[in-house]
Amino acid sequence: AGIVMIAAPSTVTTVLLGTGDSRGAEAMAVLTIGQLVNVGTGASGVLLTMGGSERSWGVITATAMAASLVLVAVLTPRWGMVGTASAVAVGVSGMSVAGAGWVRYRFGYWPSGREFGNVAMAAMSTIVVVGGFLAVGRDWPPLALLTVLTVVAYVAWAGTLVPSGPAPADPQGPRRPVH
């Protein structure tokens, strides 16, 4: 669904909010990119908090928030709503990536549970397939286009990710936590 929001933001906002309310479509697409990075990195905040690294997670979160606030101040006057969305997306993405890296350092595994290459390949192939369908169905009614794009995105995602199978286990096993 996130890839559909990125590929056809005005169609999604038109269906959800009505014809006159698609002004924030680009900002929603940018925010969706930030959330896809967040989802792709796994539950690093929960893992760090439950694993006794709540201070580290607090520092990561505070740093990401500070970076977002600075970027909001810099980007909003220049690009408006899209600048604000970009600043928030960078903050969320940075926090997620830093948290995943800290989980890897602290506990010895990636929190997403899958090889990043498999997920990236599934995302890229889904974007290509959705883009192709978007080019074909540009003149369709918005609700029909959104429905078809969503189904196509799920099929393309699963069709790419499922055959790759689960990530191989680390032959060394989980590393010992750093204290």
Total-model pTM: 0.73
Residue 20 has what pLDDT?
A: 56
Angle between helices 54-107 and 25-40 (to 10 degrees): 60
- Number of Cβ atoms within 10 Å of the Cβ of 113: 11
Per-position b or e across 13-27, b if 16+ CB within 10 A of its CB = bbbeeeeeebebbbb
More confident residue, 17 or 62: 62
Return mean pLDDT, the chain.
Answer: 81
Tokens 């005005």: give the residue: 10
Residue 161 makes CB contacts below 8 A (sequence gap 6+) with: 118, 119, 122
Per-residue pLDDT of 16-60, as tens digits, reads 777 655 668 888 889 988 888 888 888 889 999 999 999 999 999
Whole-number Å distance between alpha carbons of 59 and 95: 10
Q: Which of 96, 115, 100 is nearest to 170 (CA)?
A: 115
Find the mean pLDDT for residues 131-145.
77
Tokens 């906002």: give the residue: 13
